[in-house]
């Protein structure tokens, strides 16, 4: 789906006037965001980049996942990256498992330190716990997605025995 199509769908649900008022822009600008030119670059389609194209450009420029996390949290969710497909499965499996364990460890450390210090969790500590929890959810969900997609469902090569050099015995009739 193109950015202008996503905007058009969202705007159609609530109305151009409401979106224009909420974003403090003119209705004609909102209509322009909904337009699209098939062969033009996203920011050339209507003479001005729409908000989604601007966010995408910000992401491309910074590659800071915190931007995406922030948007997902605002929408009531969590960003979950797709499983890697360009690396070896075993390396990815180990890496994802290590991230989950590391994130869980950091979460537990933050919780226990909060309680050890003064037997309570203040607002700042709660924010730190939330940050660790978000990372843990992301890594765990990404791992589960990879499992569901069969990324780790590859048969292992047979193990070599000590005497047979890895060969299976041949049965003779």
| % helix, strand, coil for the chain, step of 5 | 65, 0, 35
Tens digit of each residue's pLDDT (9 = 90 or more) over 71-84: 988 998 888 777 66
Neighbours of 25 (CB within 10 A): 14
- DSSP output for 110-157: HHHHHHHHHSS--HHHHHHHHHHHHHHHHHHHHHHHHHHTTTT--PPP
Q: For the ranges 3-7, 62-66, 131-135, which has the lowest average pLDDT? A: 131-135
Position 25 pLDDT exceeds 90: yes
- What residue spans define the domains of the chain? 3-63, 89-148
- 169 pLDDT higher than 50: no
Task: Please state, as a whole number, how many other Cβ atoms lie within 10 Å of the Cβ of residue 8.
Answer: 20
CA-wise closest residue to 100 among 130, 145, 138: 138
pTM comes to 0.52
Which range is least confidently modeled, 42-56, 79-93, 99-113? 79-93
């Amino acid at each position: 789906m193109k950015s202008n199509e996503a905007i058009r769908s969202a705007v159609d649900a609530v109305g151009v006037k409401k979106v224009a008022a909420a974003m403090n822009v003119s209705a004609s600008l909102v209509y322009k965001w909904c337009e699209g030119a098939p062969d033009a670059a996203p920011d050339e389609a209507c003479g001005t980049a729409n908000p989604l194209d601007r966010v995408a450009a910000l992401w491309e420029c910074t590659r800071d996942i915190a931007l995406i996390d922030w948007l997902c949290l605002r929408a009531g969710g969590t960003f979950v990256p797709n499983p890697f497909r360009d690396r070896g499965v075993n390396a990815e499996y180990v890496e994802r498992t290590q991230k989950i364990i590391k994130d869980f460890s950091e979460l537990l450390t933050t919780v226990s330190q909060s309680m050890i210090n003064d037997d309570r969790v203040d607002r700042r500590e709660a924010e730190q716990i939330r940050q660790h929890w978000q990372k843990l959810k992301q890594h765990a969900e990404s791992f589960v997605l990879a499992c569901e997609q069969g990324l780790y469902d590859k048969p292992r090569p047979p193990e070599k025995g000590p005497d047979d050099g890895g060969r299976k015995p041949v049965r003779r009739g």
